Structures are given as C-alpha cells and as structure tokens.
Amino acid sequence: MIAVTGAVIIMGLLMMGSLHLVLDHNRRAALSADHALAMHEAERALAAAECEIAIAADTPHREGCHTEPDAARVAALDPVSLAGFVPQQCGKETANRGLCWPQEGQSVETLSGLLLDERHAIPLLSSEDGWRQPAHRARYVIEPISDAVPGQWIHANASRAPVLFRITAVGFGADEAVNVRLQTIFRPRGTEL
C-alpha cells in the first residue's frame, strides 16, 4: 500500500512537471509567433513609408512599390522645402498626416503617440495573407533630420544642411502587448541646395 501510494505521488509529480513544461512551451510558442507577426507588420510599414518617400521625392525605389501619393502629399514630403513638416508637431490633415518634427531631445514616438493610437501616424491596411491578425494596424511616422552633425562642415553656399528622413514604424502581434518598433534613415535624391 505504501509503495503504491508512493508511486502514485511520484507519477503525479511527474505529470505536474510535464504539464508545466507543456504550458510553458505553449506560451513561448505563442509569444514567438506574436513577435514574428509584429516584426512582419513593422517591416511592411517601413517598406510602405520608404516607397511613399521615394515616389514623392523622385528617388529610385524597389520593385513592387505601388503607392501613388497625390500632389499635396508629394509637396508635403518635399525634402528641400519640408512643406508638410511643422516644428514640434505631427500633421493631422490628409496631406501631412504622419509627418512629425519633434523638438530637440523629444522622441517622435512621444510626440506622435505612435504606440497608443494611429491618429498622427499613417496606418496600413491589414494584410490578408496571415493566419493570425494583429491587435492593431501597423503604422509609421516620418521625421526630417539634418544630414550634418552640429559643427560639421556642410556644403559651401548652402543655406542649411541637407535633410534625411527618419522613418519609425511599429507593428503589433495578436497580443496587443507585443510590438516591434523599427527605424531607418532614407536619403532622398536631390536634397543638396
């Protein structure tokens, strides 16, 4: 009787340990799948932003870039005039939505509320190719940054340093707590003044 009770206790402990391993593996697999989904969505948003800037700034772009920004959006993304960018603000209108110009020391994520909502960002349509859908649509914002470090020599006779665009994109997993933020720098053609 004691041997049977001992064997049952040992088997119960082994089963509990196995159950915990299975549950932990299931949780890790779900988090891994959510992270992969969030990464895919953030990469899609980054590619869409690069495509939009490339077409608006008449810069060579990759194949598969099918966006056609209207004339107001093209003017807003002009790398010379920066017409769509207002210092210390993010655009809210159609032509300048997602165009942010944070003040020195402020992050574009804070200014735009990129992780909280999409009202200052450009949201992407959800992709139909996946078996998992993200909790929120992927989105991106674009900010102008100087192409010269303060104190660095810039082009002779230039009124200001050439401008680059920093793109910040965020994608979400099926669990809204899982997100991936990506950034890249885009150099448009013809920014020399």
Best CA proximity match to 90, nearest among 50, 48, 142: 142
In a domain, 192, yes or no: no
pLDDT at residue 193, rounded to an integer = 43
Residue range 128-155, pLDDT digits in tens: 776 778 989 999 999 998 877 665 655 5
3-state SS of 104-118?
A: CCCCHHHHHCCCCCC
In a domain, 92, yes or no: yes
Mean of the pLDDT values across residues 87-111? 87
High-pLDDT (> 70) share of the chain, % = 90
In a domain, 191, yes or no: no
In a domain, 112, yes or no: yes
pTM above 0.75, yes or no: yes
Q: Which domain holds residue 18?
A: 2-186
The number of domains in the chain is 1
Tokens of 103: 């003040």
The helix (H) or strand (E) run that includes residue 164 is: strand 163-172
Residue range 10-46, pLDDT digits in tens: 888 888 877 777 777 777 777 888 999 999 999 999 9
In a domain, 74, yes or no: yes
**Which contacts (CB < 8 Å, 24+ apart) does range 21-26 have?**
none
The Cα–Cα gap between 97 and 184 comes to 19
pLDDT at residue 13, rounded to an integer = 81
